Every structure is written in structure tokens, then in C-alpha cells.
Structure 1
Amino acid sequence: MTATVLSFANFKGGVGKTSTTALVAWNLAQSGHKVCVIDFDPQANLTALMIKTYASLHNDMPATIKASLMTAITEDKPLKDITISISDNLDLVPNAVDFSIYGNFLTTKYPTEKDQVSSFRPYVDALRDSYEFIFVDVPPTLQPTNDAAFYACDQLIVVLQTQERALSGAEQFVKYMQSVMIDRYNAPLDILGILPVLTERRAPVDEAVLQAAIDEFGTENIFENHVLIQSRVKRFDMTGITDNAKDMWDKKAHNAYKAVAEEMIARLEAN
């Protein structure tokens, strides 16, 4: 078992990257795949969501966080030493606000840009034999620290909320990955596709931006399965992920992300 390392990414915030990461990972785990999610954001939203999910599955018992990602890196500990088992087949590498010093740490410890960018990959590579999929959740900013996360990935999925500014951000993101990560740093990564996140089904603006994305990137590069923003997904941020088969709203939410997970696997197998 050698994991594929992926990240759902875009420079624009508020497009649903963290929710998509969490729910695709959850549905892969529920289908029997061994999955790890790495929180690479000092805001630690993925960590908060997963810890709430753990509590909901364990009679409100809090998870024990041994150390944060920043602690593991500064002390050169394997990430497996701080990993938390959230549910069957789903593990978390947690983060915390101390990760805000990561940029200064990189420039102090590593003399060259290439050393800084490539420094996180060995930590991730050490996890590959334990999982089928590893997801790295990054903040929505253009900064060198994110480059280290992207360099550790095999595949990126660009999350595109169907708004004009998000389309512009997706275009800039793809160009940056090509010109900086691949051409300058020789990063061993590829873009698996563009995942549309619709604010409103069949709304004129959504359809117009989606068509513009197809024109820009090509039909074959757009995920056939789209994610519609749902109130239940927003609720998960407060309650943790719930997965009640008798609850139609839980079922509807998970069906959408399960379809994305299945298409992701199909695209990986087709590569």
C-alpha cells in the first residue's frame, strides 16, 4: 500500500476546500480505504472539525492531541507519532496556531528556496506505506509555506466555486503551479482536475462561470460530479461529521462527496 497524496486547493478562501477535504476523506474511509488528513493551516479548521467528529463518535469524549504539526517538524518527529485515529480507516495529523511560525522556521533552517520547498515531503513520504490516500489541507493564500505542502503532493484538485473571482483565482493557481512548482522547482505533481462547487443549482451565474471554466480548461479537466453548497455541510462545522443513514440531509450530503471520491479514484486509475 503506497498512498497517493492530494490537496484540494485554490488561492481564494471560502470555496469549501476544508469541507471537501474532510468529506471526501470520510467517504473514502467509510468505503474501506485507509486515509490520513494533514492539517497544514494554522487556523486549524480541519483539526477542529475532525476533533468534533471524534467526540461525536465517542460519547463526547475529547481526543488526545499529543502534539501539533509544528512541534513534530521542529523536533523532527515522524508524523505517525502525533497522528490521531478519528474513526475506522481515518487518521488526522493535527495543527494549531503555532504553525504561524512555519515560514520563519523554513527560512532560518534551510539556506535555499529549493531546500525550503522540498523539506516537508520526507515527512509525508514516511506515511505513504500506511495509507491509500493522504490529503493535505492548505490555507487559501499564495505563500512559500504552501509551496512546501504542494511539493509533497502527487495530485492537486482545484476547487472552483462558481463565481467570477473564483474562476480568476483558479486560472492564476494553475499558472502558478506550472510556472513555479513544476518549471522552477521540478515538483513531481500534476493537476487531477477542476472540481466545481456550486452556490446554487442551475443559477445563471453558476452556469455561466461553469461554462467559462469548461472553455478555459477543457471539458475533460472538469469533474463531472459537482458539489452543491448545503446547509448540512455547514452544520458539520458545529457538530462534527454525522453520517446517519436515516437522516435524508446527512445522506444527501454524503452522496455528493462519495460521488466526488469515486470520480477521483477513476481519474487516478486513468492516469
Structure 2
Amino acid sequence: MVKIIIFGQQKGGVGKTTDTCMVSLVSSLVKDKKTLLIDFDLQGNATTFMTKTFQIENIPQTLMFGLEEGDLSKSVLKLTDNLDIIPASYDMRLYSEFLTENFNNSFDRTFYFSKLLEKIKDQYDYIFIDIPPSTDLKVDNAMVACNYLVVVQETQQFSFEGSQRLIFDYVQTLVDDFGDNIPIQVAGVLPALLQQKRPMHQKLVEETVETFGRDNVFNTIIQNHARLEWYPRLGFSFEDYHDKKMVALFSDIFDELEERIEIFETEGDIENYIYQPKYLKEGKLTDLGKEIRLYGFN
């Protein structure tokens, strides 16, 4: 069955859009999975990342068009044989008003996007939704449609606090409001932008483990890589050793996510789980990492 996944955080600037785009690329180009990326942010950062990567100049329709038409398939843009995107633009600012004008109750307003996604989701193995760092009706629409939430936590205090609010307050409120209609499972907290030489960063990782539990924190950590900062500006490239290391890192993130999902779906909860890196270990490519190829990417 399709897995619908959100990389979320209430604090902005933690790299969740880049993470979402990179995992989408790994899912489709490395793992050969049918993948859909949905940009739910009016800033359209995921859209920009992907259109630069695949040199797309014209976007026929945006997500908002599909929402207004009641048919998300009208907004799907094919990037490769395995990767599609539903792009976003500033017209997403109209979505909350659209919902309020067209639906009389909170359930129909909140689950409208989820209802439309049901019609196309079975075409894919993975659907990744990029959301803004907010908690409004637009984000509610995306969140209630997802199966698994990965909480991206930058190793900064405000991000740590944002992770707690996202899990313990926001998600819990959705569950309280809509009960069994909420399919969300927190797949884990993903530490990001760690700088090993800064004691505070390491301390926040330790506090994260203490707060959420070792089993609920990803073993794979996104180190602070300059190359990741360039991709949103120029688009992803696959030209040298450093690019391959980034693909290897997100291949490990993808594999750990898959393993976590498998454990949830077979055992109900994660206990005594430690992911063993396959592609990038201690900052170096493994033999498997050296063999990485991207299929359908020029």
C-alpha cells in the first residue's frame, strides 16, 4: 500500500523542504519507487527545487487548480518515469478561504484534500507532502492525509521545543478532534544540521533521546553539509563525490524510514531498534554507497 509521509516541524529554516525533496529523489531514482511529491506551501520552495533540478520552465497547473477543480490529477507534472510533482504557487493563500466558503462543517473542510488524494494515491508507492511551518487549516488538510510523520529537528533549542509542540500538542489535538479518522503515526524524530564540535548541539541530541526515547529518534543524523545548502539555490546535481555522499545519506534515511514503517506495521511499535547504515558510515561511502546510480536522471 502507498505510504504518505510528511517531514514536519513547527519552526522554519530547519531544512525539511530540502529533506523532503532529497528523499523523494532517492525514492524514485535510487529505489525505483513510483513517487509523488506534493508541494503544499504557498512559497513553492519544493517546486522551485524540483523545477531547477529537472530544468522545467513552465508549470501548467498548480495544486490550487486541482483543489478548486476537485481533481488533483489535473495538477500532476511528470518529472521522470518514477517521479511526479504537484507544484504549488502563491495561489495557495486562497485555500483556507476556499474551504470556508464551500464547506459548512469542520470535518469536510479538514478532510477535503485527503478525499481528493484517495482518487490518485494508488498510482504511487510513496507520496511525500511538503508543508509550511504552521498549524492552520491548510496544514491540517495535509496532516490528516498522511500515514507517517517524520519530525525534522535542527539541533537548536527552538527546534527542540517545536518538535515537542508538533507531537504533543498539534498532532494530539487532531487526534482529539477527529479520533480514528487520523491515521498519523510518528515515524521518528530526525536530528538535522548537527555540528559535532559544538557541545550544545550534542546536548540537544541527548535531550531529544531522553524526551522521545531512543527508539523514537532516527539513528541517521543529517550533518551540516555545505552541498545541501546549494541544492535549493541551483537544483540537485549528481556530478561528483560530494553529491554521491548526499545521495548516500538520504538513501540511509529512506532505508531507516522503511524499516521503521515495517516494524510499526508488523509489530505495532518500535523496541530496541538500531539502524545499521548501509550507504554512508562515519562520513565515508560504503561499498554499497560507491555503487549508487540514479536511474532516469540526466
How far, CA to CA, are the matches of 2:67 and 2:106 in structure 1? 18
The AA in structure 2 aligned to 1:29 is: S
* Alpha-carbon distance in structure 2 between the residues aligned to 1:230 and 1:85: 29
Q: Aligned residues: percent identity?
A: 29
After superposition, give the CA deviation of every residue in 1:49-85 in whole Å (9 maximum; x if it has no partner).
1111111xxxxxx354221111111122x22222111
1-structure distance, mates of 2:148, 2:51: 26
Aligned residue in 1 for 2:284 = none
**1:38 equivalenced with 2:31 (yes/no):** no
State the partner residue of 2:217.
222
- 2:239 matched to 1:239? no
The corresponding residue for 1:92 is: 85
The partner residue of 2:190 within 179, 187, 195 is 195
Asked if 1:75 corresponds to 2:69, the answer is yes
Alpha carbons 1:54, 1:63 under 8 Å: kept: no
User: What number of residue pairs does the alignment pair up?
Assistant: 261
1:171 maps to 164
Deviation at 1:147, TM superposition (A): 0.6
Contact 2:194 / 2:202 at 8 angstroms: preserved in 1?
A: no
TM-score by length of 2: 0.85
Listed as ranges, the gaps of 5+ residues in structure 1 are 56-61
User: What is the root-mean-square deviation of aligned Cα atoms in Å?
Assistant: 1.3
Counterpart code for 1:125: E
What is the rounded CA distance, in whole Å, between the counterparts of 1:270 and 1:125 in structure 2?
A: 25
Q: 1:261 aligns with which of 227, 243, 254?
A: 254
CA–CA distance in structure 2, aligned partners of residues 127 and 243 of structure 1: 30
Note closer, same or farther for the CA distance 1:178–1:69 as it changes in structure 2 (3 Å cut): closer
Secondary structure at the aligned position of 1:135 is classed as strand
Deviations 1:100-146 (A, max 9, x none): 11111111111112221111102222222111000110000121210
Q: Which residue of 2 aligns with 1:248?
A: 241
Cα distance in structure 1, aligned partners of 2:159 and 2:174: 21
**2-structure distance, mates of 1:80, 1:72:** 7
- 3-state DSSP class of the match of 1:95? coil
Deviations 1:13-42 (A, max 9, x none): 001110000001101112211110000000
Uncovered stretches (5+) of structure 2, i.e. residues with no partner: 265-298
What is the aligned partner in structure 1 of residue 205 from structure 2?
210
- Counterpart CA distance in 1 for 2:54 and 2:48 is 10
